[in-house]
Amino acid sequence: MLAHNLTQFARVLRRAGIAVGTDRLLAGVRALEAVGLERREDVHAALSAVMLERHEQQAVFDAAFEAFWRDPKLLERMMYLLLPKVERRGEKEPPKRANRVAEALSASRPRDAPARPAAAPEEETRFEATFTWSERERLQHADFETMTTAEFEAVKALVERLPPPFAPVQRRRRQAATRGRLDLRATLRRMARTPHTLVPQFVQPSEELPAAVVLLDISGSMERYARIFLHYAHGLMQRRYRLQVFTFGTRLTHITRALRVHDADAALAATAAQVADWHGGTRIASSLEEFNRVWARRVLAGNAALLLVSDGLDRDEHGDLGKAAAHLRLFAHEIVWLNPLLRFSGFEPRAAGIRALLPQVDRFLPVHNLASLADLGRALAAPPRRPGLTKWN
């Protein structure tokens, strides 16, 4: 019975986004045999010690543990709790991570579980499951990390159509136009081809989309944000935006060619096949050093901006992050750091990696929901303001 319950609990964790394989499940059985079942706190500590691989997963695990091991009738009651309810003033907002846990628990209901009694025809109520306008408005400000699977899939489609972060820039060269500034040279050439005929020729300034380079952190703590940003980058590239995209976790990978595939699912599948260090550790210093040595001179030419998408939690013991960031500053026209940790109002740059990067950054912006990505263009249009460390000192 214990093994069966643990198996069901592992399925709930997997549906909530925590990868729990057979090895962790067997380790959980051995851990419970070692600590016993007398104290609930010992069971919680033993299972979290063997089933989690990152500290960020602890909140999801705690919510799932509290709900799953409450009583044997859990699944039936969770189905009832998932029904829409009228919000009242003064009620506390539920924990943000409960969405994924509730969705996982509803999906794990056994087939032979007794169904709820059917309501009378006059009392039957139907709910529209499609995303309405108000639902899309709510998704604009929902954190990617706390979204359910259905919400996350809906956001993938929305993010592909967001506006580009940089406005077009004027080139020195001009292009022919039907109106604008008179082009005397072109007019004289036209008269030489057709004598006795005066047809004025005009020119106007030409515009082009600026080049940009994306360095995307795909470590475990950035998984959901990285996946959404890949869809964002794919949408920009399909609109002929000049973008070079690199991923880094424990190594640097150039994925621009994979993202040029027109179909989004095929492009992300090609990217996943090319990237070998997805959902792994973080070696920011070594990755920046390799980028400076191999790619910087090639892709950062022509006043290209660099978008660094990372939480700055570096675990590289063999590189000098401050030196690598200073070297990168020599190549990039502008360094924009997009950090999901800025969604917290009390954020302070205490991590060594963040403190090493900040002095070399021109802009320090949040990227954790649709609204932050949509406002990226307006934020980058403002004059640059280097954050440094003085703001938090």
Q: Is the pLDDT of residue 7 over 60?
A: yes
CA nearest to 253, candidates 236, 270, 238: 270
pLDDT the model gives residue 72: 43
pTM of the model: 0.64
d(CA 241, CA 166): 10
Q: Is the pLDDT of residue 344 over 60?
A: yes
Number of H helices, E strands in the chain: 18, 9
d(CA 247, CA 78): 39
Percentage of the chain lying above the pLDDT 90 cut: 25
d(CA 225, CA 154): 14
What is the rounded average pLDDT of the residues 303-325? 87
d(CA 98, CA 62): 10
List pLDDT tens digits, range 205-256.
777 777 899 999 999 889 889 999 999 999 999 888 889 999 999 999 999 9
Question: Which are the contacts of 119, defined by CB distance < 8 A and separation ≥ 6?
Answer: 125
Question: Which are the contacts of 205, defined by CB distance < 8 A and separation ≥ 6?
Answer: 170, 171, 174, 175
> Which amino acid is it at 297?
R
Q: Is the pLDDT of residue 381 over 50?
A: yes
If you ran DSSP here, which 8-state letter would residue 292 be given? I
What is the rounded average pLDDT of the residues 15-32? 82
Instruction: Give me the chain's average pLDDT, please.
Output: 79
pLDDT the model gives residue 78: 44
What is the rounded average pLDDT of the residues 4-28? 81
List pLDDT tens digits, range 136-190.
677 888 888 888 888 888 888 888 888 888 777 667 777 788 888 888 888 888 8
**236: part of which helix (H) or strand (E)?**
helix 223-238
Question: Which are the contacts of 320, defined by CB distance < 8 A and separation ≥ 6?
Answer: 285
